Chain A
């Protein structure tokens, strides 16, 4: 290894109301920095297209459409919506990017759950739902269907917050493939991590452990005798509960979700793992298990409220060392830590 090739180069950038980080292994520092700068420009571009807070984004424009109106959107917005629709269908509605009005009804300004009447709940449920978006892949248009309730003219509120950051990581990975940087770890404020190739010794991965070693789940995983995963060619996303209460709503019922204290999804793409980690919070353990059995490329980790124990779900997750993520014995040092402090904000951080 020459002095020009440091073991790891790390670069950070604020976007999408979080901090993205790129950790590059085995590249000359200037080249790694220029590639990371290209990644960050791409993420900024995606934020401009996908953020509902940017008034000219495709998503903000969709949210201004009246029922019956259509908008031709960019490739990136369409791909996110397509995947959101796919996960919505595959999870029986446990993931829904249109759930905003329900969240606004159920939570007060401080984010605490509040009491609502059945009539209020029914009214809010009538305006949400993935089926209100008609995605037409022939011409990349999105058409809004009328709401089912008393006011069919209500707009849709799309929020890609639970999928867009993961999608940005996937697009970043495509770009880094152009740059021929095969060994790289990308994360979006550590709620989603995409690991490609091999981190090497500096990332706690000797050559016989191909991949990136990531710590997950903090106290929960240590209790379960599991605190590190080895990840390569796959993405890991986490969702968690707050100290004050649960902040995840089950779109299927409109009520606060209560099945898991925390959930992680491992999937081939970060957009998918991002969406699934949210869905797995509200699905029952049996539902998550069934999902993983019918989607062999996905593994899940959940902390069950009842037992306070971490369980890995999915055939590939526990037994097959060949799967990208697997448990390694606790206590081994030198892993890239993802300090998932589920007791505070459900965010992970690489330390």
Chain B
């Protein structure tokens, strides 16, 4: 019995034994429940581990940290996705994620080294890459060279040279390369940007955009002592220390810091809105709060976009010392402003300027929800003005809800493309343009002056 095994003081009923027996009892109960279901139409059984069906895809995952786990959870809801192999240099995450997948019926092998995974797993159709940014290019390129389609987390890389190599490998191998800017497949964002802003032009000229992602102060991530990776293995995989391995997002060798980790998702939207890449950037920021980390813990940046309509500007901030306002984006045009967030409760409306042409036709078409009642101030005892109203005046809610995990539509788009039934919503070339725009924010902080983008910088 291991030292951490918890048992009762009398040793008779220990939690683990109980939990195991309870799980067995639950299984038998559920089986008898199944007999009751004879009247119910039986669903097609997911084929998680048996011989591959025509729409089944064998999938590997490399990088099993927080983001890898989010992607696995989101992909688990997609029919035909069969996890066959997962890989992480950290034994703890292999155990955690491999265990969870096996318990839910996947026949999954665990690997420490992605090269071993590629050598052993010959029948994978696709690989999801969610490692620290600095390894994306090496791993994604090796996967594509091995004939696998790749879904790779953003940022493509913390080096533009490495990001470029991913686009070139994609072209050479002809494999699919989807980058994880998941808002590109989110039906709420597609409706807001492609339909309302670009097609219907309901905001008029969008002269400004704003985005932010603010988070409360947070300690460095720790690790269970017994799962510390020994120094020889850390050296082998290029990590200076266990602390840097766990907190890689804060170190220049492995990532791009908060502006890249968080800002990239939202800065990506600016070029989607305006249909062009930025022409210049100014930025300020610094490592002003945390000690012993490398990347800027706050960045405020302004991008300039030279569009056919004229110069438009976008302001973006990422703060890691306050969660004020959370994360959302705003597109501000002469006729109105659209506020949206990946979490709808944080942003899901369009505000109309009083002088704007009527939006009733969009409400009739179902492109906007009809505006709710205007404010009716009332007074109550002891309160001068009661602000309890159902909705603010002039705010038109967006009509579309996303009823799946936020990453699922982007993964569905990727797997549909692998099956030859869709076009990627964020192929490598598009994500490369975003990487150029986003990584330049760190350069601009360091330079302390306005930096220009040349159009050819965005091309591979």
Minimum CB–CB distance for B19 against chain A, Å: 6
Q: Of A82, A180, A322, which contacts B30 at CB under 8 A? A: A82
Q: How large is the interface on B (under 10, 10 to 19, 20 to 34, 35 or more residues)?
A: 35 or more
Q: Of A75, A133, A137, A173, which contacts B6 at CB under 8 A? A: A173
* Cβ-defined contact, B227 with A178, below 8 A: yes
Knowing A37-B222, A69-B43 touch, does A232 contact B26 (C-beta < 8 A)?
no
Interface check A202, CB cutoff 8 A: no
Contact with B along A142-156 (1 / 0, CB 8 A): 011110000000000
Q: Of B4, B10, B218, B223, which contacts A322 at CB under 8 A? A: B10
* Cβ-defined contact, B76 with A131, below 8 A: no
A221-257 CB contacts (< 8 Å) to partner B: 232-234
Docked complex Cα distance between A296 and B5 (Å): 21
Minimum CB–CB distance for A201 against chain B, Å: 17
Minimum CB–CB distance for B57 against chain A, Å: 16
Docked complex Cα distance between A146 and B30 (Å): 17
Minimum CB–CB distance for A28 against chain B, Å: 10
B385-415 CB contacts (< 8 Å) to partner A: 401-406
* Cβ-defined contact, A82 with B43, below 8 A: no
* Cβ-defined contact, A268 with B30, below 8 A: no
CB-based nearest B residue for A269: B19
Docked complex Cα distance between A211 and B7 (Å): 11
Q: How large is the interface on A (under 10, 10 to 19, 20 to 34, 35 or more residues)?
A: 35 or more
Classify the secondary structure of A's interface with B: mixed
Complex interface: stretch among A2-10, A83-91, A97-105, A120-128: A83-91
For A60, A233, A323, the residue with the greatest tally of chain B CB atoms inside 10 Å of its CB is A233
Minimum CB–CB distance for B397 against chain A, Å: 14
Residues in chain B near residue A143, CB distance under 8 A: 37, 40, 42-43
Interface check A177, CB cutoff 8 A: yes
* Cβ-defined contact, B222 with A86, below 8 A: no
Interface check B1, CB cutoff 8 A: no
CB-based nearest B residue for A133: B33
Interface check A23, CB cutoff 8 A: no
* Cβ-defined contact, B77 with A72, below 8 A: yes
16 A-B contact pairs sorted by A residue (CB < 8 Å): A37-B221, A55-B402, A56-B403, A70-B43, A131-B33, A141-B46, A143-B43, A145-B39, A170-B19, A180-B224, A196-B6, A269-B15, A269-B19, A272-B22, A322-B10, A323-B10
Interface check B383, CB cutoff 8 A: no
Interface check A344, CB cutoff 8 A: no
CB-based nearest B residue for A58: B77
Interface check B104, CB cutoff 8 A: yes
Residues in chain B near residue A179, CB distance under 8 A: 224-225
Docked complex Cα distance between A66 and B12 (Å): 45
B27-73 CB contacts (< 8 Å) to partner A: 27, 29-31, 33-34, 36-37, 39-43, 45-46, 48, 66, 69, 73
Residues in chain B near residue A83, CB distance under 8 A: 22, 26
Extra A-B contacts (13), CB below 8 Å, given A31-B222, A86-B29, A145-B40: A70-B43, A75-B100, A78-B104, A133-B33, A134-B33, A134-B40, A139-B46, A173-B15, A177-B5, A210-B9, A234-B15, A268-B13, A323-B8
Interface check A329, CB cutoff 8 A: no
Residues in chain A near residue B104, CB distance under 8 A: 74-75, 78, 140
Docked complex Cα distance between A45 and B405 (Å): 12
Q: Of B6, B218, B221, B222, which contacts A197 at CB under 8 A? A: B6
Minimum CB–CB distance for B321 against chain A, Å: 17
Interface check B290, CB cutoff 8 A: no
Residues in chain A near residue B66, CB distance under 8 A: 41
Q: Please list the 6 inter-chain residue pairs (A to B) with the smallest Cβ-Cβ separation, ordered nearest first.
A: A34-B222, A322-B10, A82-B26, A70-B43, A135-B30, A268-B18
Minimum CB–CB distance for B274 against chain A, Å: 30
CB-based nearest A residue for B46: A139
Docked complex Cα distance between A233 and B224 (Å): 21
Minimum CB–CB distance for B423 against chain A, Å: 25
Residues in chain B near residue A69, CB distance under 8 A: 43
Residues in chain A near residue B122, CB distance under 8 A: none
Minimum CB–CB distance for A17 against chain B, Å: 14
Docked complex Cα distance between A180 and B2 (Å): 10
* Cβ-defined contact, A56 with B14, below 8 A: no
Q: Of A41, A82, A134, which contacts B27 at CB under 8 A? A: A82
Docked complex Cα distance between A37 and B221 (Å): 8
Interface check A161, CB cutoff 8 A: no
Interface check B105, CB cutoff 8 A: yes
* Cβ-defined contact, B224 with A137, below 8 A: no
Interface check A315, CB cutoff 8 A: no
Interface check B276, CB cutoff 8 A: no
A244-279 CB contacts (< 8 Å) to partner B: 268-269, 272
Residues in chain A near residue B5, CB distance under 8 A: 177
* Cβ-defined contact, B9 with A137, below 8 A: no
Minimum CB–CB distance for A230 against chain B, Å: 9
Q: Of A38, A67, A177, which contacts B40 at CB under 8 A? A: A67
Q: Of B4, B218, B222, B403, which contacts A177 at CB under 8 A? A: B4
